[in-house]
Amino acid sequence: MKKTTIITFAVISALFLVSWIAKGMFTEGSSPFLDGFLVTLAAFLTLAIMSFLYKDNPYYKFAEHLFVGVSAAYAMCLGFWSTIVGNLIPRLSSGISEFFKVSYIEGDYNFIYFIPIIFGILLLMRLSPRGGWLSRWPLAFIVGTTAGLNFVRYLRSDFINQVSSTIVPLMIDWQGFGHFFSNLNFSATGQLVMMFSNLVIFIGVTCGIIYFYFSKEHTGWFGRASKIGIWILMITFGASFGYTVMGRISLLVGRITFLFRDWLEIIS
Amino acid sequence: MTVLNPLFAISAQTIGITLTLIIIGLGLAWLFWRSFSGKEVDRRIIFIFIFFSVAAPILFKISFTFKAIPIVSALYDKVESLPAGSTVLISYDFDPAMAPEVQPMADALSRHCLSRDLKIIYMCLFPTGQGQLEETFRTVVREEFPNKKDGIDFVNLGYKAGGEGVLNVIVTDFEKMFPTDVNSVPYGDIQVFDNIKSCQNLDLIISIGGGRPGIKEWVLFVGDPGNVPMAAGVAAVVAPQLYPYFPNQILGLLGGVKGAAEYENKMRDEHEQFKDMPTPATTMMGPQTLAHIVVMAFIIIGNILYFRNKRREEG
């Protein structure tokens, strides 16, 4: 091991201890040293993750692997207690329900619930070199069910309803130019803005479709519409990019607020 | 807290923000000059800029006020229009990684619903959503509404694995999927469910999240088939994908921390009781704004240099 690695580790360990002791001494509550330890640990793990921005290092790797491991373990435990103990066992047997301290749900067809148990066991057969093929049966069931369910739902919500939402009137509440100009306002729910919004939807959808239509050469009016389509797409991607930046900055704000408020206590 | 209006009509500017703006301005000028001279700029300098532009407004507590846009107002108005005793389902479909962005909207919506005497059914489709839900219980439900009773005014159903499978069942029958609440109280003993058999009996469903399963699955499996009023609060990354659902498939949407800030501001503006409520999303808009200005400056600098180099090559 390199000398600099050992020195870095020693400095980080010393800083961790100083932070823990300081937090423990100045934190109020029933268990200040435990709270101090947890806040210090969270702060150091945050810094370990951020250290990747400088360059890849073992502290980043440790924090990353810890995060993945803890998340997986947490999800598995929660899944066991909420699905198997919470949903399945109360329908299987009164004895096991009593063991897990959950109320037994009586039903005429409770034997059906043995099917998911068998499928669950078959899924685990993937771990066996000889019985791996058995896991294809539950997988086929999962894929088939998901495809069947999603087909109907997507067709209704993302196709029919979306097409219906796109067909909008270009003239809203039209009672002549006199009425239009006498009630002119720039409110987001006003007649002018609503009509403009619907016009943007109409032009945007039409030109966007034209851009993706490759059976005709993009020249003349068709080419001009295609160009407008590109602009519409670019503006959409720009909006998405802007929102993505906003999301990432929010996460950074969250971590920096934690470091300043909970760890360093320099803001209230 | 120094509150500035979004048009930069700065009236009570602190020394902190002045210094911050000077440092960032000088830094950007240096960066531009360095790039213009043809020298490489290390990516870590960019990271330092972003860190500074986010950290300074947090330290100096600079924030902005925002007027709610129609898509945010629509959700606010819906909650306002529901009569006392109506039942709202709030689903925590997010994890700690998304929490800084969506936890403020979850807290604001809970606060708003409870203050209007609406009954709330809490649940999560993300395993780690349970911990975030606990955070709302700690900071909002128990702290600000100590008189609200578990099982009568609200109920916590907790997490259920299965994603779309869970939604596909509760759209017709809650009890099948949630025979008990998170505290093992049987479904039949929970008063909130007295007139509720399925999602179709709910007055409003609000999904808060940004991943999968999330609002899209709620619309696909519950909102559209069950004809239930749906609304959402989502992380900014997915917000643009959900706008097409408005107004026919979702009645309102809070997009990212800006949506949450707009909702908080609307609550504060329209209700005296919320004047002093915590506004974490509004506080976050200071760093957001400054960081966006810096990112925009980087984009402009990058483009100027790109076109300059292109012209040079052509010349």
pLDDT value of residue A102: 84
Which of B163, B171, B180, B99 has its CA nearest to residue B135? Answer: B99
Instruction: Find the closest chain B residue to A70 by CA distance.
Output: B128
pLDDT at A79: 82
Check B55 against A251: CB less than 8 A apart.
no
Q: Is the pLDDT of residue A1 over 80?
A: no
Q: Which of A54, A158, A244 sits opposite B237 (nearest CB)?
A: A244
Q: How far is CA A264 from CA A267, B133, B154, in A?
A: 8, 26, 36
ipTM score: 0.86
Q: State yes or no: pLDDT of A81 exceeds 90.
A: no
- pLDDT per position as a tens digit, B149-192: 999 999 999 988 888 989 999 999 999 888 889 888 989 999 99
Question: Mean of the per-residue pLDDT values for chain A?
Answer: 91
In this complex, do B59 and A266 lie within 8 Å of one another by their Cβ atoms? Answer: yes
The pLDDT of residue B9 is above 60: no
Q: Which residues contact A169 (CB under 8 A, 6 or more apart)?
A: A198
Cβ neighbours of B262 (radius 10 Å): 25
Whether the predicted pLDDT of B128 surpasses 60: yes
Sign of CA dihedral A163, B219, B68, A247: negative
Q: Is B311 exposed, middle or buried (0-12, 13-18, 19+ CB in 10 A)?
A: exposed
Q: Give the separation between CA A217 and CA A214, rounded to whole angstroms.
A: 7
- Cα separation, A127 vs A122, in Å, equals 10
Residue A161 has its nearest CB partner, among B158, B239, B249, at B249
Q: Residue B92 forms beta bridges with which residues?
A: B208
Which residue from A149, A157, A246 is facing B288, i.e. has the nearest CB?
A: A246
Residue pair B182/B156 in contact (Cβ under 8 Å)? The answer is yes
Question: Residues B184-205: pLDDT tens digits?
Answer: 898 999 999 999 999 999 999 9
Q: Which of B295, B299, B303 to mutate to test the interface with A (most CBs of A within 10 A)?
A: B295
Lowest mean pLDDT among A12-21, B10-19, B110-119: B10-19
Per cent of chain A over pLDDT 90 is 66
What confidence score (pLDDT) does residue A27 get? 80
Q: What pLDDT score was predicted for residue B13?
A: 55
CA B251 from chain centre, in angstroms, equals: 16
pTM: 0.88
B-chain residues within 8 Å CB-CB of A157?
A: 219-220, 223-224, 249
Q: A26 at the B interface (CB within 8 A)?
A: no
| H or E stretch at B71 | helix B70-81
Closest CA to B224 of A148, A240, A164: A164
Q: What is the mean pLDDT of residues A209-235?
A: 95
| Nearest chain A CA: its distance from B61 CA (Å) | 9
How far away is chain B from the Cα of A65, in angstroms, using its nearest Cα?
Answer: 15
Q: What average pLDDT does the segment A80-96 reach? A: 86
Contact A142/B at CB under 8 A: no
- Is B32 within 8 Å of B302 (Cβ atoms)? no
Q: Which residues of B touch A257 (CB under 8 A)?
A: 58, 100
pLDDT of residue B6: 52
- Residue A127's CB is within 10 A of a number of other CB atoms, namely 9
A199, containing H or E segment? helix A191-211
Question: Residue A22's closest CA among A41, A36, A42, A12?
Answer: A36
Mean pLDDT of B297-310: 90
Please give the residue of chain A at the shortest CA–CA distance from B157.
Answer: A82
* Per-residue confidence (pLDDT) for residue B16, from 0 to 100: 80
CA atoms within 13 A on the CB side of A164: 12
Q: Does A246 touch chain B (CB under 8 A)?
A: yes
Buried b / exposed e over A77-97, threshold 16 CB at 10 Å, is ebbeebbbbbbebbbbeeeeb
Q: Maximum CA pair distance of chain A?
A: 84
> Could you give all domains of chain B from N- to C-terminal order, each with its CATH number?
2-64+280-314 (no CATH), 70-274 (3.40.50.10160)
